[in-house]
């Protein structure tokens, strides 16, 4: 009996240490909260475009949707909100080129601390900002959009 009781406290302490060091179950995926671009809409909303990760922010849309310049994101953000659903905002703008025509740019913004699904948290007093930006009707924006 003594051997079991002598062994139990170190095992219990090791378990507490390991569980204490584990990431909490409620923690979201990693994302870079650093701000790449900033814009202010006509209603005075300060909207950051965070570097993010592969799911949202600059790292998401600069690769997946081929938008490589802050100006392409900030142009729609300088106009009025075109679609609103609670804290989810959409801004529309156009990129044009005499040779190729024009494409509609859609910028989706989460103007709240956390994303809709609660997985990403910008921190106290912050907003998630730009979730994605893309050219309407196409997977990738044409190269000329970034010229």
The model's pTM is: 0.81
Residue 21: the pLDDT is 47
Residue with the two structure tokens 């601390």: 113
Q: Over the stretch 71-85, which tens digit does the pLDDT of each residue have?
A: 999 999 999 999 999
Q: Which residues in the chain land under pLDDT 50?
A: 14-25
Distance of CA 138 to the CA centre of its chain: 20
Residue 8: the pLDDT is 53
Residue 3: the pLDDT is 55
Residue 133: the pLDDT is 97
Distance CA 13, CA 16 (A): 5
């Amino acid at each position: 009996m003594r051997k079991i009781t002598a062994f139990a406290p170190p095992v219990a302490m090791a378990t507490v240490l390991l569980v204490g060091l584990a990431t909490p179950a409620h923690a979201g995926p990693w994302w870079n909260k650093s701000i790449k671009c900033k814009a202010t809409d006509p209603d005075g909303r300060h909207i950051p475009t965070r570097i993010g990760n592969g799911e949202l922010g600059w790292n998401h849309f600069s690769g997946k949707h081929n938008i490589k310049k802050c100006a392409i994101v900030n142009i729609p953000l300088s106009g009025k909100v075109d679609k609103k659903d609670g804290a989810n905002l959409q801004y529309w703008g156009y990129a044009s080129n005499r040779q190729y025509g024009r494409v509609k740019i859609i910028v989706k913004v989460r103007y709240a601390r956390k994303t809709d699904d609660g997985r990403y948290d910008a921190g106290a007093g912050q907003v998630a900002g730009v979730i994605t930006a893309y050219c309407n009707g196409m997977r990738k924006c044409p190269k000329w959009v970034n010229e």
